[in-house]
Structure 1
Amino acid sequence: MYLRSGFIVVIVGITLTSMSTLIVLLRYFCRYFRMGSVGVTDHLMFVALLLTWGTTTINYFQDITSSKFRPSQFRFPEKRPMIEAALRGTLITWYLYRIMYGIALCFCKLSILYFYRAIASHATFRRMVNYTICFVCLYTFASTIASIFQCENPADSWSTTAFLSQFDGVKGRTKPPKCYDPTRLYLFSACISLFTDVVILLLPIPTLLGLRVPMSKRLALIGIFSVGLLAIVASCVRMWVMALWAQSPDKSAQFGADLLLWGQVETNAGIISASIPFLRLLFGRRDKEPDEKRRIVVGPPKQITPNEKDEKATQIETLKFFTQKDGVDHDGGSPAWDPFITVPASLSSGSRGSVLLGTEVAKVHVTV
């Protein structure tokens, strides 16, 4: 049984985007019902999901319109009137896809960066995150404007006459449209997108390595953040396919479906990999230790230096996301994901100054 390559793109797109939808919904569930807060990072990812559904819908219409003609018919002038309507539909959907695809990736990256910004208490880390946010917004805005005005008259971007003239110089226009070759823009945008993917992956690594926690826990945190490697691999493959696609108009027709396929993989891999860390809260313990089993000992405050205070604050803020359940910190009790992510003993006492949590008797001792 023969399956059109465009039909495969649609099936893969619907499957991956449905998985992304399920994971984003579970993310909202965990953030709202387990952590008690939904932030900007979640809403940005939701917008990225909606735009991904938009690109999936465009892929569907691309398959419908492109299935009504074959690239070999472009070189026969007598066959062009029969395929002109379908070809125009394909050109329009490609025009819309290029714009929406870049914006979807932008919102996905902004969601990750705003999450970094929320947990960043170190000034250098926060500054680097802010710079990256500005860079992603600027290059997305620039590439979007360039895609919209590929031609001096944007309508020429989906002109069938201009497209078919690439094959044999079809006459019929007194003046050719003023358009630039978009392949360089697409290749440059793909390289910048891959570069930002790598930067986003590496940004939190120095902070996580600098945490004063056991190496096993540091590696566990790095492993969680490194799930984004899936998106980077997909981006690399897509850039390779784009290099083949950009060689000639014939190659564009040959590798167009592959380009769309890996675009779906890249976007959905970004959404899924960025949302999976939040789903660990699904496995958090529901049972809480009763209050009567706690012992609270209040003593004189421990004197710490300013450097120790800043370092401890950095650790607490960075690990806060990984130690909350139902909006409550679990510093000394059951961690939200025990035993994979636990809070070290030093944070159990230091996070509240001189308050120590125990599990022996319900009694309060006050030391003067």
Structure 2
Amino acid sequence: MASPEDVLPPLPADYQISAHDMYQVLSTAMWIGGSSPNFKYETTGEVIKRYADYAWEVQGNMTAKEIAKIFGPSESEADWLIGLFDGPQNFAGTIVTIAYQIAPRLPHPANPNVVVPLFIAFTVITTLIMALRLWSRYKVAGGIQPFDWLAVVGYVLTVIWGAVSVYHDHVNTQWQAFYDKSWYNLAGGLETYYALTVFYPWVMMVIKLSLLLFYYRMTNWNYIRWSVYATTVIVVGTSISAFVVWLVQCPHVRYWEYPWEICRINLKKAQVAFAGLYIFTDIVIWVLPMPLVFQLKLYPRERLLALITFSLGAIACVASCYRLAMLEQYTNYSSQSSTTLIIDAWTITELNLALICSSAPAVRALAIHYAPKILNSLGTVAFASQTGTQTGKKGSIGSSTGSSKAGAQARVTADPEK
């Protein structure tokens, strides 16, 4: 019998793989890979070629019993696979075309090598910043507060999340496209991504709660505290909802082991929706302390520096927006946008920047404490400067506690415990 190379005509030299054809190739790679446990360590592209050779040998008369015997699925799974292509003849024609005509034209994009360097760099930087923050609270403000301990928990969870993403980078191999990966790697990547996505809401919730608790204890202004209450409800509700949605999205939690099942929820739309809610709370938390800066009596330089310090949170907001854009772009079904490692990279950036920016006031206070002659005129933000020569309690926004220009009194203390 002649081989497919001898019979099938070559594609035109100017042939371009359409988006529809690419979707078909990637889908076939997933279905074939998940239905061929006997060859789970071979790339799905190679397994498709095995199916094509079998289909060519039997002239399209493929049976569920033979597929189960050769490739390892149950007969019911093999029946499902044949049914996806509207029968054995269509199935045979599709996989032979993919294996012997389209495959030579397929691109082979590599995964970006960004996760490991980002994880190492941010872990070093964030560890240093968190250490300075705790030292500042101990040395300058008289003790580590509950919101600092929450930030420490968020830091630990962030490091764990980053470490899991490093494993995700490893199991994904160097290739992006499904047909360049084995089912062992595909399933491992899906499983790890699932773990990261389920874990993410809790990490983000702890970091945001540490900031909200700080704002709550910083002042007794009612509108600030009620804003904190409302934002806390949204943050906690979003995190719980995201967790539950990921647990019930498909009939089976380990959905990658059941490629023939249809999930109840559009995963991409759900992720984008929750990311949008997190960005909304990011903006609220960023804006929340600004009215305090404008209400208190501060010199123009102090007001500007206070605004700059609290405005650093905008950097974390920008990172969250980029993460949302990556969710939109890199969860598409194409050969060069199916990687989730870019999403991992931006999530590492987002979480670490949130911790770094939330620690900026404490680090600045520590700098002022140890360099009073140079920085004394800058004032302190969020903590009192205990130099031993102060005559009154410092404020957490400016250089001293005072009333607003409108005459409203506020308790804005250096130590929320006092």
Q: TM-score when scaled to structure 1?
A: 0.70
Query: CA-to-partner distance for each residue in 1:259-310, whole Å, 9 max, x for gaps?
Result: 111111111110100012101232244699xxxxxxxxxxxxxxxxxxxxxx
Show the counterpart of 1:217: 302
> Which of 299, 321, 325 is equivalent to 2:386?
325
> Which of 139, 142, 164 is equivalent to 2:238?
139
Show the counterpart of 1:63: 169
- Residue 377 (structure 2) pairs with residue 278 (structure 1): no
CA–CA distance in structure 2, aligned partners of residues 104 and 116 of structure 1: 19
Show the counterpart of 2:115: 9
- Residue 136 (structure 2) pairs with residue 30 (structure 1): yes
CA–CA distance in structure 1, aligned partners of residues 323 and 177 of structure 2: 22
CA–CA distance in structure 1, aligned partners of residues 300 and 151 of structure 2: 31
Q: Is the 8 A contact 2:140 2:383 kept in 1?
A: no
Query: CA-to-partner distance for each residue in 1:344-364, whole Å, 9 max, x for gaps?
Result: 8999xxx9xxxxxxxxxxxxx
CA shift in 2, pair 1:258/1:331, >3 Å? farther
CA–CA distance in structure 2, aligned partners of residues 51 and 344 of structure 1: 35
C-alpha deviation, 1:213, in angstroms: 2.7
Letter in 2 for 1:330: Q
Show the counterpart of 1:116: 215
- Residue 192 (structure 2) pairs with residue 93 (structure 1): yes
Task: Find the residue that maps to 2:312 and give its secondary structure.
Answer: helix
Q: Is the 8 A contact 1:197 1:232 kept in 2?
A: yes
Q: Is the 8 A contact 1:325 1:336 kept in 2?
A: no
Matches within 5 A, 1:356-367: none
- Residue 227 (structure 2) pairs with residue 128 (structure 1): yes
CA shift in 2, pair 1:23/1:253, >3 Å? same
Q: Is the 8 A contact 1:228 1:274 kept in 2?
A: yes
Show the counterpart of 2:126: 20
CA–CA distance in structure 2, aligned partners of residues 281 and 130 of structure 1: 27
C-alpha deviation, 1:325, in angstroms: 2.4
Calculate the aligned-residue CA RMSD, in Å. 3.1
Letter in 1 for 2:185: A
Matches within 5 A, 1:1-368: 5-67=111-173, 71-73=177-179, 83-156=182-255, 158-159=256-257, 161-162=258-259, 176-248=261-333, 250=335, 252-254=337-339, 256-285=340-369, 321-325=382-386, 330-332=390-392, 342-343=399-400
Letter in 2 for 1:206: P
Query: CA-to-partner distance for each residue in 1:94-136, whole Å, 9 max, x for gaps?
Result: 0011012222111111111111011121112111112111211
C-alpha deviation, 1:69, in angstroms: 5.6
CA shift in 2, pair 1:217/1:320, >3 Å? closer
**Deviating more after overlay: 59-68 vs 91-100:** 59-68
**Deviating more after overlay: 53-62 vs 187-196:** 53-62
- Name the larger-Rg structure: 2
CA–CA distance in structure 2, aligned partners of residues 229 and 68 of structure 1: 34
Query: CA-to-partner distance for each residue in 1:284-343, whole Å, 9 max, x for gaps?
Result: 44699xxxxxxxxxxxxxxxxxxxxxxxxxxxxxx89433327x793459x799xx9533
Letter in 1 for 2:390: H
CA shift in 2, pair 1:205/1:24, >3 Å? same
CA–CA distance in structure 2, aligned partners of residues 70 and 186 of structure 1: 21
Letter in 2 for 1:324: S
Q: Is the 8 A contact 1:102 1:140 kept in 2?
A: yes
Q: Is the 8 A contact 1:281 1:325 kept in 2?
A: no
CA–CA distance in structure 2, aligned partners of residues 70 and 199 of structure 1: 36
C-alpha deviation, 1:70, in angstroms: 5.0
CA–CA distance in structure 1, aligned partners of residues 297 and 331 of structure 2: 49
Q: Is the 8 A contact 2:110 2:175 kept in 1?
A: no
Q: Is the 8 A contact 1:330 1:336 kept in 2?
A: no
Q: Is the 8 A contact 1:125 1:207 kept in 2?
A: no
Letter in 2 for 1:28: L
The alignment of Structure 1 onto Structure 2 pairs a total of residues equal to: 290
C-alpha deviation, 1:206, in angstroms: 1.5
Task: Find the residue that maps to 2:265 and give its secondary structure.
Answer: coil
CA shift in 2, pair 1:346/1:69, >3 Å? closer
Letter in 2 for 1:259: I
Show the counterpart of 2:377: none
What is the aligned-residue identity percentage? 24
CA shift in 2, pair 1:61/1:320, >3 Å? closer
CA shift in 2, pair 1:285/1:107, >3 Å? closer
Gaps of 5+ in 2: 1-108, 373-379, 410-418
Q: TM-score when scaled to structure 2?
A: 0.63
Gaps of 5+ in 1: 75-79, 163-172, 289-318, 352-368
CA–CA distance in structure 1, aligned partners of residues 402 and 218 of structure 2: 21
CA–CA distance in structure 1, aligned partners of residues 110 and 358 of structure 2: 32
Q: Is the 8 A contact 1:105 1:267 kept in 2?
A: yes
C-alpha deviation, 1:5, in angstroms: 3.9
